[in-house]
Structure 1
Amino acid sequence: MSSSLAFAAVERGGKEGVVTRSLSKSKAGFTKANMDAVSDNPAWTKATTARSKSFDETFPDLARRARGPQKAPTKTQVTLRLDARVVDHFEATGQGWQMRINEALKKAAGL
């Protein structure tokens, strides 16, 4: 059997095949009564849909708080591998730890 297969396979009698199972055979499914018993979110009707509003209409103050695009890129995104102890040290200082790593690198580089 090839180890490069991206899906689960099983060898049966010299033949390879994808492992599948039928949900209809293994589970009976849920009835409307089951769903109604546990649902605290009723189904939407045409009237409910007609009365609905978009997020920005319902919460205009929250919708306006989005940060816009940068006028001029000030930072470059990179992938950097650091020692676990270094990352743990900066993460322990709380929110903004990536910014503090940037400040430490600038100081070390004399910038």
Structure 2
Amino acid sequence: MNAKENVTATDWIDPDDAPELTDDFFAQADEYIGNQLIRRGCTQTENTTQALTIAYDNDVIAAFKATGEGWEARMNMALRDWLNSHLLN
């Protein structure tokens, strides 16, 4: 089967039953200006993140994971606190 498995379900079958596209829809829609795609929605912040591969001791990871969802953000805050108290003074 060539169809995508994760297709968004709709509550309409006939295209004439599709919901109207409102001004609000178009205000938040992505748009092409010439050849450049302009994405709307989340804005970029000054502090961007960078994905990387790094190894930490198992007990360190376990301790942060034990704090629940969002442990990566808390680990980042702990590293930032360390930087502020050790390197930036």
Name the TM-score class by shorter chain: 0.3 to 0.5
TM-score by length of 1: 0.38
Q: Point out which structure has higher relative CO (alpha carbons under 8 A, 6+ apart).
A: 2
Structure label with greater radius of gyration: 1
TM-score by length of 2: 0.45
> Quick check: which one's helix share is greater?
1
